């Protein structure tokens, strides 16, 4: 008898413990972007062992795809596995790193990768059992937190023959994003001055640190005169050696984000001018290095509808008393006002975790204001994004609380649900030409109307 969508969901459920083992293992060995060798190898081994063909990219050690099946459509399930610096944390309700200063999975990419892999395995079993035309690929995408991995993978043609992408992310809500992600760019600014004794001969020195500070002041004034949805943030980790030496070298690292990549480029040009101005004021020299950039997501309502329908059909995470209690204690570490605001937004009915399927249009009032290199994927093929409830409402990603939730059953339940949703979407894409057509028609229209991504 032919397998139905329900059977794929059950296939996922049968792999619950494999999902948990995978997620924990990645969580226990957090590796930051560019360094995810063991995590990538783990997924290669897992999927290779399941009968997938592993295709590596020679220019990117930690990127690969695992493929099964033949013919069209080719469905790309996007996996990630990079951690974040400094977010090491035990599964506890107080800030307690496993290892001080070490990385941790504060964005839940251990869950993301595990659910994507389990979803891909279930889809492979389906293709195998039915013998239908179609290919499934799990994409091992490194460096998401650097917003660069998928951009490079596109550059190296790793997605060239794919038709549809499915992505998900751990969150505090069960929802679908038709659009989202701010376009972004990363840039390093380095100033070179002249050292001198800061007291004996200050007139001979030219401070690179002064230039960094003046540049930052200038950028902070710029904020008022850029598109209101832009976000500009920076860090500085080099400001000289000691107060009695005029700093000859100093630099800062900027992220610029805005709703459209064209805005990002425009803001970056203006920041460059500010850097040049700071150099002029301090008689130093400025060097600018643009690291990478990524686009906002190209919206696709037809795909969003299909993903949402599949959220309705899958089993959403249900949390037991012990989990709810732990979630409450995590919520207790953020301000009451923030928690209440999030609980209202996600309509949790006073619970710390979201249980229900959120409103279809929640993404419009709760836009994804982070950025992701997945945005670029949505410009080369239709991509959907679903999120499931993996950490408490009020807990933000990139926090120790999120690391804690991602390392236990709170996050794993959300991931199991995501894996089911992924299989359901894939099932429909293989079996419903009308849906494929609708999604592709919208994709082609939106893409044709779009300002080119990488114009000079």
CA dist 173 and 194 (Å) reads 52
Q: Considering the complex, state which of residue 32 and residue 440 has its C-beta at the smaller distance from Zn ion.
A: 32
CB of 169 to Zn ion, least distance (A): 6
**How far, in whole angstroms, is CA 195 from its chain's centroid?**
41
Q: Considering the complex, state which of residue 398 and residue 446 has its C-beta at the smaller distance from Zn ion.
A: 398
CB of 7 to Zn ion, least distance (A): 30
Residue given tokens 């469905």 in the structure block: 75
CB of 439 to Zn ion, least distance (A): 24
Q: Please, where are the H alpha helices in 166-300?
A: 208-222, 261-282
Spatial strand order in the sheet of 383-389: 53-57, 60-70, 134-141, 74-80, 164-171, 383-389, 175-177
State the residue number with the nearest CB to Zn ion: 107
CB of 387 to Zn ion, least distance (A): 10
Under a CB-based contact definition with an 8 Å cutoff, are residues 394 and 169 in contact?
no
Looking at 100-108, 156-164, 235-243, 424-432, which segment touches Zn ion (CB under 5 A)? 100-108
CA dist 31 and 290 (Å) reads 24
Under a CB-based contact definition with an 8 Å cutoff, are residues 403 and 106 in contact?
yes
Q: Considering the complex, state which of residue 214 and residue 385 has its C-beta at the smaller distance from Zn ion.
A: 385
CB of 213 to Zn ion, least distance (A): 29
CA dist 232 and 223 (Å) reads 8
Looking at 102-110, 220-228, 336-344, 377-385, which segment touches Zn ion (CB under 5 A)? 102-110
Contacting Zn ion within 404-423 (CB under 5 A): none
Q: Considering the complex, state which of residue 107 and residue 279 has its C-beta at the smaller distance from Zn ion.
A: 107
Number of residues that bind Zn ion (CB under 5 A): 1
CB of 374 to Zn ion, least distance (A): 9
Q: Considering the complex, state which of residue 363 and residue 427 has its C-beta at the smaller distance from Zn ion.
A: 363
Contact pattern for Zn ion over residues 57 through 96, marking x by CB under 5 A? ----------------------------------------
CB of 106 to Zn ion, least distance (A): 7
Q: Please, where are the H alpha helices in 314-408?
A: 321-331, 336-345, 362-365, 374-380, 400-406
Q: Considering the complex, state which of residue 107 and residue 385 has its C-beta at the smaller distance from Zn ion.
A: 107
CB of 372 to Zn ion, least distance (A): 7
Detail the DSSP E strand segments found in 83-163. Answer: 134-141
Of residues 346, 370, 354, 334, the one with CA closest to residue 410:
354
Q: Considering the complex, state which of residue 15 and residue 32 has its C-beta at the smaller distance from Zn ion.
A: 32
Q: What share of the chain is helix, strand, coil (3-state, %, to 5)?
A: 45, 20, 35
- Rule CB under 5 A: choose which of 60, 107, 230, 395 binds Zn ion: 107
166 CB-side CA count, 13 A: 33
CB of 83 to Zn ion, least distance (A): 10
CA dist 279 and 109 (Å) reads 40
Q: Considering the complex, state which of residue 256 and residue 439 has its C-beta at the smaller distance from Zn ion.
A: 256
Q: Considering the complex, state which of residue 72 and residue 233 has its C-beta at the smaller distance from Zn ion.
A: 233
Binding residues for Zn ion, rule: CB under 5 A, are 107
């Amino acid at each position: 008898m032919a397998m139905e969508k329900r059977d794929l969901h059950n296939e996922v459920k049968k792999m619950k413990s494999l999902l948990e083992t995978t997620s924990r293992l990645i969580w226990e060995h957090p590796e930051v972007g560019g360094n995810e060798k063991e995590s990538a190898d783990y997924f290669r081994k897992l999927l290779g062992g399941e009968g997938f063909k592993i295709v590596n990219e020679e220019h990117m050690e930690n990127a690969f795809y695992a493929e099964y099946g033949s013919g069209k459509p080719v469905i790309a399930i996007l996996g990630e596995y990079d951690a974040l610096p400094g977010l090491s944390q035990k599964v506890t309700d107080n800030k307690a790193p496993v290892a001080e200063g070490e990385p941790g999975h504060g964005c839940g990419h251990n869950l993301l990768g595990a659910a994507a892999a389990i979803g891909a395995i279930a889809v492979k079993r389906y293709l195998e059992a039915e013998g239908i035309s179609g290919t499934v690929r799990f994409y091992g995408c490194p460096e998401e937190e650097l917003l660069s991995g998928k951009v490079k993978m596109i550059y190296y043609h790793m997605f060239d023959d794919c038709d549809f992408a499915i992505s998900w992310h751990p969150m505090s809500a069960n929802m679908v994003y038709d659009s989202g992600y701010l376009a972004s760019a990363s840039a390093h600014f380095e100033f070179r001055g002249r050292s001198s004794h800061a007291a004996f001969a200050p007139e001979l020195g030219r401070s690179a640190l002064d230039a960094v500070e003046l540049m930052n002041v200038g950028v902070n004034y710029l904020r008022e005169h850029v598109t209101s949805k832009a976000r500009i943030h920076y860090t500085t980790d080099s400001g000289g050696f000691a107060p009695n030496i005029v700093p000859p070298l100093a630099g800062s690292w900027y992220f610029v984000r805005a709703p459209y990549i064209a805005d990002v480029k425009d803001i970056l040009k203006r920041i460059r001018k500010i850097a040049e101005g700071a150099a002029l004021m301090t008689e130093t020299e400025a060097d600018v290095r643009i690291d990478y950039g990524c686009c906002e997501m190209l919206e696709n309502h037809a795909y969003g509808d299909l993903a949402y329908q599949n959220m309705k059909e899958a089993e959403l995470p249900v949390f037991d008393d012990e989990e709810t209690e732990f979630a409450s204690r995590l919520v207790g570490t953020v301000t009451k006002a923030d928690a209440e605001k999030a609980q209202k937004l996600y309509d949790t009915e006073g619970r710390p975790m979201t249980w229900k399927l959120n409103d279809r249009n929640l993404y419009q009032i709760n836009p994804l204001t982070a950025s992701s290199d997945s945005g670029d994927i949505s410009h080369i093929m239709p991509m959907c994004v679903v999120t499931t409830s993996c950490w408490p409402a009020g807990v933000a990603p990139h926090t120790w609380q999120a690391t804690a939730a991602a390392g236990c059953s709170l996050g794993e339940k959300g991931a199991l649900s995501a894996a089911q949703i992924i299989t359901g979407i894939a099932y429909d894409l293989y079996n419903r030409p009308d849906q494929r057509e609708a999604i592709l028609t919208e994709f082609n229209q939106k893409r044709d109307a779009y300002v080119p991504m990488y114009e000079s």
